[in-house]
A and B are shown apart, each in its own frame.
Chain A
Amino acid sequence: MLEGSADIKDVPYQRVRDSPTLKFYSSWEKYESGMGEPVGIANPIINERMLRGAELVELRPDGSYRGSLEEESPSADLFSVTEGRILAKHLMSLKSSLKLKVNDRENRRVEIIYLAPEAGSSHHHIRIDVGRGSSAEIALISSARSSEGVPITTMEAFVGEGSKLRIWRVSVFEREGLPISWLRVSGRGASEVEVRNVLLGGGASFASDEISLIGSKSAAKMNSFLMAMEGEKVDHLTNISNNSPGSNASIFVNGFNFGGVLVHRGKLKVTREALESENKLSSIFYRIGSGSKTYSVPSLEVEGDFAVSASHETSVSPLPEIVLFYMKSRGLNEQESLEVMVRSSLSKVLEGMDGDAIEKVISEILLRAPSGISP
Chain B
Amino acid sequence: MKVEGKAELLDTISSSSEAAAFSPRYEKAIEIRGKVDRSLVEEISREKREPEWMLRVRLKALESYNKLPAPNWLSGVDELDLDELIHYLKPDAALARSWDDIPEGIRRVYESLKLPEAEKRALAGISFQFESETVYLGVKRMLEEKKVIMVPMEEAVIRYPDMVKQYFSKVFPYAEHKFAALHTALWSGGVFVYVPKGVRIPQPIEAFFFMASALEGQFEHTLLIADEGSELQFIEGCSAPMYKRYSFHDGMVEIYAHKGSKVKFVTLQNWSGNVINFNNKRAVAEGGAYVEWLEGSVGSKVTYVYPSTILKGNDSSTSIYTITISNGKKLKDTGAKVIAIGKNARAKLVSKSISANGGKNVYRGLVRINKGAMNAVVASSCDSLILDGSSSSYTYPHNQVEEDTASITHEARTGRISEEQLFYMRSRGLSEGEAKSLMVLGFMEDVLIDVPFEMASVLNSVVQLEFSKLGGMG
Tell me the nearest residue of chain A to B400, going by C-beta: A295
Cβ-closest chain A residue relative to B387 = A305
- Tell which of A15-23, A45-53, A123-131, A239-247 binds the partner: A15-23
Closest 4 CB pairs of A and B: A305-B416, A317-B407, A313-B411, A304-B389
Interface of B is mostly: strand
- Pick from B337, B393, B404, B415 the residue with the most CB of A within 10 Å: B404
Of the listed stretches A104-112, A114-122, A136-144, A284-292, name the one at the interface; the rest are far from the partner chain: A284-292
B386 touching A16 by the CB < 8 A rule?
no
A72: chain B residues at CB < 8 Å are none
A302 is an interface residue with CB less than 8 A from chain B: yes
- Residue among B392, B393, B407 making CB contact with A315, cutoff 8 Å: B407
- A317 and chain B: residue at smallest CB distance: B407
For residues 381 through 408 of chain B, which have their beta carbon under 8 Å from a beta carbon of chain A? 384, 386-402, 404-408
Known: A272-B389, A314-B411, A315-B410. 9 other contacts (CB 8 A): A17-B72, A293-B400, A297-B398, A306-B389, A306-B416, A311-B413, A314-B399, A315-B408, A317-B407
Q: Could you give, for residues 126-142 of chain B, a 1 whenever the CB lies within 8 Å of some chain A CB and a 0 otherwise?
A: 00000000000000000
Could you tell me if B388 and A304 are in contact, using CB atoms closer than 8 angstroms? yes
B414 within 8 A of A: yes
Q: Is B425 part of the contact surface with A, judged by Cβ < 8 Å? A: no
B455 at interface (Cβ–Cβ under 8 A)?
no
| A297 pairs with B393, CB closer than 8 A | no
The residue that A312 contacts in the complex, of B388, B389, B395, with Cβ under 8 A, is B395
CB distance from B312 to the nearest CB of A (A): 16
Please indicate the chain B residues that have their CB under 8 angstroms from the CB of A291 in the complex. Answer: 404
Residues of B participating in the A interface, judged by any CB pair closer than 8 Å: 72-73, 337, 366, 368, 384, 386-402, 404-417
* Residue in B401, B410, B412 whose CB lies within 8 Å of A287: B401
Name A's B-contacting residues (CB within 8 A). 16-22, 270, 272, 285, 287, 289-307, 309-318
Complex Cα gap A27–B257 (Å): 37
B391 touches A304 (CB 8 A): yes
Q: B73 and A310: CB pair below 8 A?
A: no
| Residues B414 and A302 in contact, CB atoms below 8 Å apart | yes
* A19 touching B400 in the complex, CB below 8 Å, given contacts A302-B384, A304-B389, A305-B389: yes
Closest to B386 in A: A305
Q: Which of A22, A290, A306, A316 has the most CB of B within 10 A?
A: A316
Please tell me if the beta carbons of B401 and A294 are within 8 angstroms of each other in the complex: yes
Residue of B nearest to A282 (CB): B411
Chain A nearest CB: distance from B407 CB in Å?
A: 4
Contact among B388, B399, B401 with A305 in the assembled complex (CB-CB below 8 Å): B388
Can you list 12 contacts pairing A with B, beta carbon distance less than 8 Å? A18-B398, A19-B366, A297-B397, A299-B395, A300-B414, A302-B393, A304-B388, A304-B389, A304-B390, A304-B392, A312-B411, A316-B401
Partner of B408, one of A303, A305, A316: A316
Q: Which residue of A287, A301, A311 contacts B394 across the interface (Cβ within 8 Å)? A: A301
Q: Are A300 and B412 in contact (CB-based, < 8 A)?
A: yes
How distant is the Cα of A313 from the Cα of B380 in the complex, in angstroms? 10
**Residues B388 and A313 in contact, CB atoms below 8 Å apart:** no
Query: Min CB distance, B398 to chain A, in Å?
Result: 5
Name B363's closest neighbour in chain A (CB-CB): A300
Query: Cα distance A292–B416 when bound, in Å?
Result: 39
B393 closest partner in A (C-beta): A302
Chain A residues contacting B399 (CB-CB under 8 Å) are 294-297, 314, 316
A293-B409 CB under 8 A given contacts A300-B394, A304-B389, A305-B416: no
B393: A residues at CB distance < 8 A: 300-302
- Which residues on A sit within 8 Å (CB–CB) of B410? 296, 298, 312-315
Rounded to whole Å, the gap between the CB of A233 and the closest CB of chain B is: 13
Residues of B with C-beta under 8 A to A309: 413, 415
> How many angstroms from the CA of A32 to the CA of B290 in the assembled complex?
45
Contacts of B405 in A (CB 8 A): 318
A311 touches B404 (CB 8 A): no
Provide the bound-state CA to CA distance between A295 and B406, in Å. Answer: 13
**A310–B408 touching, CB < 8 Å:** no
- Asked whether, in the complex, the Cβ of B401 is within 8 Å of the Cβ of A293, the reply is yes
Q: How far is the CA of A313 from the CA of B397 in the complex (A)?
A: 10
Q: A21-B366, A310-B414, A311-B413 are in contact. Are A295 and B407 (CB under 8 A)?
A: no
Which residue of A303, A311, A317 contacts B392 across the interface (Cβ within 8 Å)? A303
- Say yes or no: B413 contacts A310, CB within 8 Å: yes
A302 touches B386 (CB 8 A): yes
A295 adjacent to B401 (CB under 8 Å): yes
**Chain A, Cβ-Cβ closest to B356:** A305
Inter-chain contacts of B72 with A (CB < 8 A): 16-17
- Chain A nearest CB, measured from B412 CB (Å): 5
Q: How far is the CA of A8 from the CA of B396 in the complex (A)?
A: 30
Whether B386 pairs with A313 at a CB distance below 8 angstroms is: no
Chain B nearest CB from A203 CB (Å) reads 19
Q: Which residue of the partner chain, among B386, B388, B411, B417, contacts A311 with CB atoms under 8 Å?
A: B411
In the complex, what residues of A have CB within 8 A of residue B397's CB? 297-299, 314
- CB proximity of B277 to chain A, nearest CB, Å: 19
Q: Which residues of chain A have C-beta atoms less than 8 A from B387's C-beta? A: 305
Chain A nearest Cβ from B326, distance in angstroms: 13
Report B443 CB to chain A, min CB distance, Å.
Answer: 13
Distance of A297 Cα from B366 Cα, bound (Å): 9
